[in-house]
A = this chain, B = another copy of it.
Amino acid sequence: MKGIEVFAPATVSNLGSGFDIIGFPVEDIGDVVVIKPVSQAEIRIVHLGGYGDIPREVEKNTASFALGKMFQKLEVKRGVELEIYKGIRPGSGIGSSAASAAAALTGANEWLGRPLSQLQLVELAMESEGMVSGSRHADNVAPALMGGITVVRSYNPLDIFRIEPPGQLYTVLLHPHIEVKTQTSRKILPRQVKLEDAVRQWGNVAGLIAGLQRGDYDLIGRSMEDVIVEPARARLIPGYDQLKTAAVEAGALNCSISGSGPSVLALCKGRENAEKVKSAMDQAYQNRQISFQSLITRVNPRGAVVQRKW
C-alpha cells in the first residue's frame, strides 16, 4: 500500500446538559488526512492545508501525536508521512483537534490491518485531546470515530454507547469567527458544583437520553438546560444570549454552546424549522462586528471513513 486517505467529521458535543459525555458528528464538514507509509521509523507532517494554522511539530499536532502513541503501543517499526487538510477551523468548538486525530488513527489502523478496536482508537485519540486541552475528554473523538450520537457512560474504564438519531433532528450551527481555546474554556469551569445543581443537571441528562432514544423532540429541548457549564462559558461568546433567544423564539428545540465554543448549535425538528431558526440566528448576529458562518446539518451516522487507498 502506498497511501490511504481518510475523512473524519466535525463534531458537536455537550448538547447543553451532557457536558463531556454526549456528542455527534455533522455532515459535510471535516478534516482529511493522507497517510503514506515510509520505511524509516518516523512520523512526519509533509503538508498542512485548509485551515492550516495548527502546529506542524509532531509532538504538538493532534494527528501525529495520536499516531505516535499508536505506534508505541503496537511497536510499529516503520513510519508515515502525513498530509493534513483542515476542513475545520481550529478553536471553533466543533472538534477540530478530534477530527484530525480520528482520521489519522483510522488510516493507520487500516494500513496495519485493523489491529485495534474502535474503542482503542478512541482511547488513543483521547491522549491527543489531553495534550492540546489538558483534559482527556472523549465527547468529540468518540463521535468522530464511531458516528451517530455517542454517549460516554464512563471514562474509567472507557465505556461508550450509541443512540440512533431521531429522523427529524436537524442542527443549525453558527460559528462566530473568534477563537476560543479549549484550554481557556476549561479553566473557567467551576471545580466544585452544588449537589442540587448536579442533581438538576443529571435530571436533564436523563431527559436528553430518553428524548433522543424515543424521538421525543420536546423532551430533548427541555432537557438541554445546562445549569453548570453554560453559565460559565456563555460570556466567552459575544452575543450568545441574543443568539439563543433568537433561536428559541424561532422555534428551535433549544440552543447551546458546541463543545467549548464559540460555535453555537440549535437543535430543531424538521428542515423547515431549521431554515427559520438559521435565518433568525443570522439576523441576530448580523449587526455585530464579528464575521460568522452558519449552516444546517444533521447527525452523521458514520464516523471517520477511508475514502481512498492506492
Contact = CB atoms under 8 A, between A and B. Distances in A.
A254 to B, nearest CB: 13
Contacts of A97: none
A155 B191 CA distance: 24
A196 to B, nearest CB: 8
A209 B18 CA distance: 13
A304 B5 CA distance: 61
A191 B200 contact: no
A33 B80 CA distance: 76
Contact of A200 (B17, B155, B194, B207): B155
A191 B197 CA distance: 10
Nearest to A152: B203
Given A192-B193, A194-B192, A199 B163 contact: no
A21 B208 CA distance: 14
Given A21-B202, A199-B21, A153 B209 contact: no
Given A192-B194, A198-B198, 18 more contacts: A19-B202, A21-B202, A21-B203, A153-B203, A153-B207, A153-B222, A154-B204, A154-B225, A159-B207, A189-B195, A191-B195, A192-B192, A192-B193, A193-B198, A201-B202, A202-B202, A205-B205, A205-B209
24 contacts: A18-B202, A19-B199, A20-B199, A20-B203, A21-B202, A151-B203, A151-B206, A152-B203, A153-B222, A153-B223, A154-B207, A154-B225, A155-B200, A161-B207, A192-B192, A195-B228, A198-B198, A198-B201, A198-B228, A202-B202, A205-B205, A205-B206, A206-B208, A210-B213
